[in-house]
Amino acid sequence: MDMSSVDLTDMGTLIRAVLDDPNTSRPRISGITQLFYSARGPCALPNDPQKVKIGYYVSDRGPCQGLCQEYSLEDFDNFPKSREEEKRIVGYPVHMHCWIILTWIIGKELLESNLNILLKSAQKLDRDQRGMVDETLALGFDILYARGEDGKRRCLNQSYQSPAFVPRIQCVIDEAREMRPRTDAIRKRWKQPLVQIPADLILIIIEKLRVWPWIIDSGFKDIINAMCTFQWILCDTYWQGYCARTLVFEYEGLIESKQLIDWQFLSLRVRHLFDGHQTFHLSYRTQLIWRAQKIEKDFLKSLKANQYLTPT
């Protein structure tokens, strides 16, 4: 997806829903719409998962015609106890950046073909984390909703800082791509390391030079300077794993396309960004991926128990 033309201030308002139809036994996903927190009344949601509706629209109280299916946010907070009493489509909304993270962690095809297992796993995590015992479990605004250290939900004022698309990471990737030819030229002039030590000791020194938390650039720059001064070179595969690739899923595309990247600079700089939690969306991504991994663990366990799939 080309995000260059997307207004990131709108990213936090884009949602889709896992629709739970009482007339069928299998949930399904909806299309994508915008959620307007100040609006009152029902929102229009495309039934077709391939459709996107931009702009606020209030329907009559009857079902929407054509592409849109009416649903009300109040319905999500008060899920009906008895499906037989009220034959209507209800849904669990998911922010699109959270949906992207879920599909990255679990896999798009596996996730979409087992939405009922996804909902049960999300419910279990919510009960474990928040002590909720209601079997119907209102999922609130998001399956993966993260809370701040103070326990309060963080949403409206920083919702534009999408954890799925982090501009600062993209800027570092671009800079690392530009630095690779320069780095290669410098290393070609090196004859041999000034200090010959095993790679294991180099790794220990790197960790000792890190400053926690990296509020300033000193730890990051000290490592770069030490590697250059002593003419130490570690292979790209080491640097690719220096910052957890589960957190930085942008790495996969770079590795698969075999792009020429200064991996030492990229990994140290990205690790610096995450260690310092310099922006909300980096901290938010860390929280969401932690929750997604918890959901994934229960999700795969349930699939195996129900013989839907034997995970490999």
Domain boundaries, the chain: 8-161+285-305, 167-278
Token reading at 75: 């319905």
Distance, CA of 159 to CA of 10 (rounded, Å):
8
pLDDT in tens, 39-70: 443 456 677 788 877 655 444 443 333 333 33
pLDDT score recorded for residue 262 = 92
pLDDT score recorded for residue 227 = 86
pLDDT in tens, 244-290: 777 888 888 888 888 889 999 898 888 878 776 555 667 778 878 88
Distance, CA of 234 to CA of 216 (rounded, Å):
24
Residue 119 or residue 24, greater confidence: 119
Q: Which residues of 61-76 are buried (b: 16+ CB within 10 A; e: fewer)?
A: eeebeeebbbbebebb
Between the ranges 84-93, 191-200, 270-279, where is the mean pLDDT highest? 191-200
pTM above 0.75, yes or no: no
Which residues does 203 contact at the CB level (< 8 Å), separation at least 6? 234
